[in-house]
Amino acid sequence: MGDVAFHSATTVDEALALVGDGSSARVIAGGSDLVVQARHGKGMPETVVAIHRIDALKGVDASGDLTLGALASHADVAAHVDVRDGWTALADASALVGSHATRNVGTIGGNLMNASPAMETGGPLIVMGASVELRSASGTRSVAVEDLWTGPGRTSAAPGEILTGVTVPRLPERSGSAYVRLEYRRAMEIAIVGASACVTLADDGTVTAAKVALTAVAPTIVRSPAAEAAIIGTVGDDDALAAVEAGAASDASPISDLRATEDYRRAMAGVIAKRAVTVAVLRAGGDAFPIPATPVFMKGSEG
Amino acid sequence: MKHAATLTVNGIAYPVELEGDATLVAAIRDHIGLTGTKQGCDDCECGACMVMVDGKPVNSCTYLALQAEGAEITTVEGLADGDQLSSLQTAFLDEGGVQCGFCTPGMLVSAHALLRQNPDPSDEEIRLALGGNLCRCTGYQKIAGAVMAAAKAG
């Protein structure tokens, strides 16, 4: 480390000017990813542009669709009453990131742009149809979260673009969502595998719409078309949930690493997807399932 | 490239000159000279470096020092009133929450932040609040017990 220029911006325009074409500068919000990665051999950029003082990027507004400034912290999101009520999978995920300390400094924008296939917040945003706003000196564009990542640590954002916000549509009536993570410990953990589900029910309890996404089983977070097809048109009965489990496992293409083998991850992708769909269906029906959804399962109260 | 800045630690403004990538724990220990904050894993895993930035616990090994300019930084030295230990620190001693002591500053800062936010925590809330702090000696029981004793003592 050493010989790094540090700038602190107070407006997005100022940050964009400092980032320039993005060839030598990187944006930092909380730093919980960038500083660790620098220490692990990726090095620091020549120029660091701190955006943590840009007040315009700090807001959370749930009066219509949910809009999150890029600097909304995981602690802010996890505690937000309207997020917990209407976009519950995102509250599940935000409450699981790191520790209290990580959640205080880590931001939704940083989590998305770090582009880890094991990130917590990405799956919930995919299943709820979220998009991000990318700003550059030449303008602003909207990109679906599902199209943001191109590989581990890689995004479709151009080098000079800054993620400024996230928009999550308001879900239809009788909808529910959940994010469930397989974890070996509670704090400072990274998903072994994770699954997100968002479902909408008809008045008779039939699932009319469903999206399922799998975390840490592919180079990016991926949808599971087989799990989605398995639950739509059912009432979430045991046969349907067994088909969700099989479908999610078949859609996973994990790797072996020091935390889990490929086979274990594939098997657990099915189990965790089944749990996520189960909780999403319960919540859609009005059940106040605890947030985050994970620890209840870890204590063995559900199979 | 050195950057001149002022860091406010435990209410005292310290002028410092720091590299752009200097971490907050390095600034606190090596530039300001307050060595209560420990550098443990230096990788945002163990919590020995925990300090408060504007009242919120932060892993100072993974936070750029220059980002803390203008903020109120509180280290373990700021928990006591001179030589008078806080009730939380006293509880750690009374309840056997300290063995080798290396994790203790981080534990104290996390617990202090918890009790400010939630003066009457449950055992589970205490354990969740200390989830980012590792201890290799105590087995955590006596640390959690010390935080509970401090909460009960008010």
- Tell me if A191 sits within 8 A of A120, measured CB to CB: yes
What's A236's DSSP letter?
-
pLDDT tens-place string over residues A219-276: 999 999 999 999 999 999 999 999 999 999 999 999 999 999 999 999 999 999 999 9
Over residues A100-105, the mean pLDDT reads 96
Q: How far is B117 from chain A (nearest CA, A)?
A: 12
For B63, the closest of A3, A31, A100 (CB atoms) is: A31
B2: closest chain A residue by CA: A3
pLDDT tens-place string over residues A289-300: 999 997 544 444
Tell me the pLDDT of chain B averaged across its residues: 96
In the stretch 113-142 of chain B, residues with CB closer than 8 A to chain A read 113, 128-129, 131-133
How far apart (Å, rounded) are the C-alpha atoms in residues B24 and A124? Answer: 33
How far apart (Å, rounded) are the C-alpha atoms in residues B14 and A220? Answer: 44
Residue A56 corresponds to which amino acid?
Answer: A
Residues paired with residue A210 on neighbouring β-strands, in sequence order: A199
Quick one: what percent of chain A has pLDDT higher than 90?
89
- Is the pLDDT reported for residue A303 higher than 50? no
Over residues B80-94, the mean pLDDT reads 96
How far apart (Å, rounded) are the C-alpha atoms in residues A146 and A133? Answer: 13
- What's the predicted TM-score (pTM) here? 0.95
Q: Which pLDDT score is estimated for A298?
A: 45
Q: Which pLDDT score is estimated for A295?
A: 55
Q: Which pLDDT score is estimated for A43?
A: 85
pLDDT tens-place string over residues A126-149: 999 999 999 999 999 999 999 999
- Tell me if B130 sits within 8 A of B140, measured CB to CB: yes
| A1–B1 CB contact, under 8 Å | no
Over residues A94-110, the mean pLDDT reads 96
Q: How many CB atoms lie within 10 A of CB B63?
A: 26
- Is the pLDDT reported for residue B148 higher than 80? yes
Q: Which pLDDT score is estimated for A134?
A: 98
Q: Which pLDDT score is estimated for A196?
A: 98
- Is the pLDDT reported for residue A167 higher than 60? yes
Q: Which pLDDT score is estimated for A42?
A: 83
Chain B touched by A95 (CB under 8 Å): no
CA atoms within 13 A on the CB side of A31: 30
Most distant CA pair in chain B, distance: 49
How far apart (Å, rounded) are the C-alpha atoms in residues B102 and B44? Answer: 16
Over residues B54-70, the mean pLDDT reads 97
Q: Higher model confidence: residue B13 or residue A38?
A: B13
- Is the pLDDT reported for residue A302 higher than 70? no
pLDDT tens-place string over residues B101-133: 999 999 999 999 999 999 999 999 999 999 999
* Sheet with strand A193-201: strands edge to edge: A175-182, A193-201, A207-215, A222-223
Contacts of A73 in chain B (CB under 8 A): none
Chain B touched by A101 (CB under 8 Å): yes
In the stretch 149-208 of chain A, residues with CB closer than 8 A to chain B read 186-188
Q: Which pLDDT score is estimated for A162?
A: 98
Structure tokens at A233: 């048109």
In the stretch 80-109 of chain B, residues with CB closer than 8 A to chain A read none
Quick one: what percent of chain A has pLDDT higher than 70?
96
Helix (H, G, I), strand (E, B) or coil at A225: helix
How far apart (Å, rounded) are the C-alpha atoms in residues B9 and B86? Answer: 18
Chain B touched by A37 (CB under 8 Å): no
Picking from B7, B39, B44 by the largest number of A CB atoms within 10 A of its own CB, the best residue to mutate is B44
Phi, psi of B84 (to 5 degrees): -90, 110
The rounded Cα B53 to chain-centroid distance in angstroms is 10
Over residues A39-62, the mean pLDDT reads 94
Q: Which pLDDT score is estimated for A3?
A: 87
Regarding beta strands B72-74 and B2-9, do their DSSP bridges make them parallel or antiparallel, or are they unpaired? parallel
Q: Which pLDDT score is estimated for A301?
A: 42
- Tell me if B97 sits within 8 A of B85, measured CB to CB: no
**CA B128, B129, B131, B136: dihedral to nearest 10 degrees?**
-120
| B21–A6 CB contact, under 8 Å | yes
Nearest in space to B18 (alpha carbons), one of B35, B34, B36, B30: B30
With cut-offs at 50, 70 and 90, classify the pLDDT of residue B84: very high
How far apart (Å, rounded) are the C-alpha atoms in residues A6 and B94? Answer: 45
- Is the pLDDT reported for residue B98 higher than 80? yes
Over residues A118-123, the mean pLDDT reads 97
Prior bond of B57 cis (ω within 30°): no
